Amino acid sequence: MNQKLLKLENLLHFLQTYKYHTVCRQLHSLGQRRTLVQWRHGFSSAYPVWTAQMYAWPWQTDVLIGATLSQYRLLVTKEEKRPRKSQLSSTKTKKEVEVWIGMTVEELARALEKDIDYVYEALLNTAIDIDSLEAHSQLDEIWIKEVIKKAGMKLKWSKLKQDKVRENKDAVRRPQADPALLTPRSPVVTIMGHVDHGKTTLLDKLRKTQVAAMEAGGITQHIGAFLVSLPSGEKITFLDTPGHAAFSAMRARGAQVTDIVVLVVAADDGVMKQTIESIQHAKDAQVPIVLAINKCDKAEADPEKVKKELLAYDVVCEDYGGDVQAVHVSALTGDNLMALAEATTALAEMLELKADPTGPVEGTVIESFTDKGRGPVTTAIIQRGTLRKGSILVAGKSWAKVRLMFDENGKIINEAYPSMPVGIIGWKDLPSAGDEILEVESEARAREVINWRKFEQEQEKNKDDLKILEEKRKEHQEAHRKTREKYGTLHWKKRSFMKYLERKEQRPLKPKEKIERDSNVLPLIIKGDVDGSVEAILNIMDTYDASHECQLDLVHYGVGDISENDVNLAETFDGVIFGFNVNVSNIIQQSAAKKGVKIKLHKIIYRLIEDLQEELSSRMPCTVEEHLIGEASILATFSVTEGKKKIPVAGCRVQKGQLEKQKKFKLIRKGQVIWKGSLTSLKHHKDDISVIKTGMDCGLSLDEEKVEFQVGDEIVCYEEKEVSAKTSWDPGF
């Protein structure tokens, strides 16, 4: 009974919280019609009376308590279940957001399906500087997590999609041939040495041609490959590499495809810079050397001195107990040339040079150029197999169906064997000098190889780009972190003012300033006759180390004659076109003249570089030099009254030269310049004069009244002259 009374008290407390009609509706829903009818008959409109009657009728109280308690239990059960249900539903609908490192504000907003302002609001009251954030600003990992957390979403880090591994479709050299299939071949000999030591003249005598006379300035400009037949019937393939310093890379390439190096050293000059480079290239390629001491016909020739100098570079001649053959020759008179040829063939026999003339062709591009009538042309050395018309070749990222082959004299040939130099026509694009030539079975296979190589190059480029992007991202994050540290503790007003000052310092350049800045840059367009020449020029440009004086900007380079496109590029970038052994049509020249574009043509490479140095110097700002006109010493000081002012005057005597009133002056005291400017007056006795000469006395006053003269000071008269600057770049020759 006590328990029932306790429940009844709880019930009364519950009923007090609801209105009368609500209780009636709840009781009616339970179907307690009988109890409800009896209750209504005894119900009065006064609430306290109803309460008294309920307590007075015990038989009705039990029924009412039972009905109401059951309703109470139902309501309590519903109240307990409701929050659990909503909690489950919210867990189920929690959105998953895919994010990644380096995500920008805009990208994060798009992933959240919100606007950018939502991201800004989520980052309010955090350590990040909201004012510095832009739509493209990258967010650190901590701030990405913060935004996702405040959005009530789930974070998922994006995994980089791994591309399907592509099958290697490249063409490669064949395995080494069976020794039984190898046949003897001619040696490939490279002529190396210093400029003007007689290499080309020596080769001319051997093959009885006049190549040197055709070369501009007598200097070989690119690699030539020639097959020379000796009186004995033996053949030697010569690579005539340039001896000039500019062609170091080409000379290295020549050493890599050669069997023997003939090192030419002039008996009167001895070992020079390019001689040492040639020795190094031969050693790097592990190629034996035959020494040709040239110009032995001269009176001042000293072959023994040459041999001794070469000892310092580990080139030991047979006379000194070494294995290097030394032959004294004269390329000009032809003396002892057969002895040099015999020494070369003897060394070739010792090397037992052999090659496989069967199967697909393998070779190396020696030189490449574009011919107007024949298109891309290459000079190549065949190293394996036999090349025939119709063969399908790949080299670098270019391929060819051999349309035509010719020898060094331009004669059409049908086959090319190992060690034989050959010109090849039929290339779709121009391969680079030094590229490996491989024969493939079909055009489809050639395209497959080229596509694979281009794909591989693209992949490498993408990797490099990703590295650069990652470095830039780290730099950006570091700069952003420093900015936060710099402005993080400042009041927003102070922060805004400091940013305003920074923006003011980074104002756009005025037109005059822009012209001055642009004039300190030299945009260049390089065009050459062959690939090797362009490469040599670019290698020289790589040595440029005076960017602080004038910036060198390579806009474009290529092989072939100068075109309208080159002129348009030069006009766009305000650049200069340098052509090496190329032609320019009259129409192109007229177009360049109208557009104000300079075209500079050269046939000797060091002349081109000298011209480039002059052009660089012309782009540099002129330096101002002071030229002394006269000197005077101050012997006395006094002042002159003009109106209400007292003007200091110096009494001077001219010690050297003369003083000219219209020129500039400076006052020197104890070796220190304390004033620079002009004179307001120059007098001799009481006469105003414009010039006063050595030994004469004068009085003078300055344009600055506050300067005080002292006895013993010096007055120097000078003029300023602009002197053209000269670049400090030294290309090495």
Confirm if 356 and 384 have CB atoms less than 8 A apart: yes
pLDDT of residue 601: 94
pLDDT band at 404 (very low <50, low <70, confident <90, very high): very high
pTM here? Answer: 0.59
Cα–Cα nearest to 285, from 406, 189, 368: 189
pLDDT of residue 40: 41
The identity of residue 464, as a single letter, is: D
Confirm if 27 and 68 have CB atoms less than 8 A apart: yes
pLDDT of residue 220: 56
pLDDT of residue 504: 63
pLDDT digits (tens, 9 = 90+) for 510-568: 554 444 445 678 999 999 988 878 888 888 888 888 888 888 889 999 888 999 999 99
pLDDT band at 600 (very low <50, low <70, confident <90, very high): very high
CA distances from 382 to 53, 428, 457 (A): 125, 20, 26
| Structure tokens given for 390 | 């119709």
Q: Tally Cβ neighbours within 10 Å of residue 413.
A: 15
Helix/strand/coil for 711: coil
pLDDT of residue 293: 92
Which domains, ranges and CATH numbers included, belong to the chain? Answer: 96-157 (no CATH), 183-355 (3.40.50.300), 362-450 (2.40.30.10), 521-619 (3.40.50.10050), 622-724 (2.40.30.10)
Percent of the chain with pLDDT over 90: 28
C-alpha–C-alpha distance, residues 158 and 97, integer Å: 9
pLDDT digits (tens, 9 = 90+) for 323-368: 999 999 988 887 888 888 889 988 998 999 999 999 899 999 888 8
pLDDT of residue 446: 94
pLDDT of residue 44: 40
User: For residue 177, which phi and psi values (nearest 5 degrees)?
Assistant: -75, 160
Helix/strand/coil for 378: strand
Q: Tally Cβ neighbours within 10 Å of residue 421.
A: 22
pLDDT of residue 698: 93
Q: Please identify which residue in the block is written with the tokens 């002349």.
A: 607
C-alpha–C-alpha distance, residues 685 and 708, integer Å: 21
pLDDT higher for 99 or 526?
526
Per-chain mean pLDDT for the chain = 79
C-alpha–C-alpha distance, residues 16 and 19, integer Å: 7
C-alpha–C-alpha distance, residues 222 and 533, integer Å: 6
Residue 242 has pLDDT above 50, yes or no: yes
- Least reliable range by pLDDT among 230-234, 426-430, 652-656, 724-728: 230-234
DSSP string, 506-541: TPPPPHHHHHHHHTTEEEEEEEESBHHHHHHHHHHH
- Least reliable range by pLDDT among 369-373, 518-522, 587-591: 518-522
Helix/strand/coil for 413: coil
User: For residue 78, which phi and psi values (nearest 5 degrees)?
Assistant: -65, -40
Region 282-293: what's the mean pLDDT? Answer: 89
Strands of the sheet containing 325-328, edge to edge, are: 224-229, 235-240, 188-193, 260-266, 289-294, 325-328
| Structure tokens given for 295 | 């110009």
Region 690-704: what's the mean pLDDT? Answer: 91
Residue 277 has pLDDT above 90, yes or no: no
Confirm if 400 and 393 have CB atoms less than 8 A apart: yes
pLDDT of residue 192: 85
Confirm if 417 and 339 have CB atoms less than 8 A apart: no
Residues 6+ positions from 373 with CB-CB distance below 8 Å: none
Question: Please, which residues bridge with residue 379 across strands?
Answer: 367, 423
The strand ranges marked E within 127-194 are 154-157, 183-184, 188-193
C-alpha–C-alpha distance, residues 660 and 657, integer Å: 10
| Structure tokens given for 285 | 């390629």
| Structure tokens given for 491 | 């009041």
pLDDT band at 699 (very low <50, low <70, confident <90, very high): very high
Confirm if 436 and 397 have CB atoms less than 8 A apart: no
Residue 661 has pLDDT above 70, yes or no: yes
pLDDT band at 495 (very low <50, low <70, confident <90, very high): confident
C-alpha–C-alpha distance, residues 122 and 156, integer Å: 18
Residue 49 has pLDDT above 50, yes or no: no
Region 170-176: what's the mean pLDDT? Answer: 87
pLDDT digits (tens, 9 = 90+) for 435-461: 899 999 999 999 999 999 998 888 888
Confirm if 474 and 138 have CB atoms less than 8 A apart: no
Confirm if 293 and 265 have CB atoms less than 8 A apart: yes
| Structure tokens given for 177 | 């041939």
- Least reliable range by pLDDT among 3-7, 26-30, 526-530: 26-30
Region 661-685: what's the mean pLDDT? Answer: 91
Residue 713 has pLDDT above 90, yes or no: yes
Alpha-carbon torsion (19, 21, 25, 28), positive or negative: positive
C-alpha–C-alpha distance, residues 486 and 47, integer Å: 73
Helices (DSSP H) in 531-640: which residue ranges?
Answer: 531-541, 564-573, 586-595, 605-619
Confirm if 239 and 258 have CB atoms less than 8 A apart: yes
Confirm if 720 and 624 have CB atoms less than 8 A apart: yes
Residue 163 has pLDDT above 50, yes or no: no
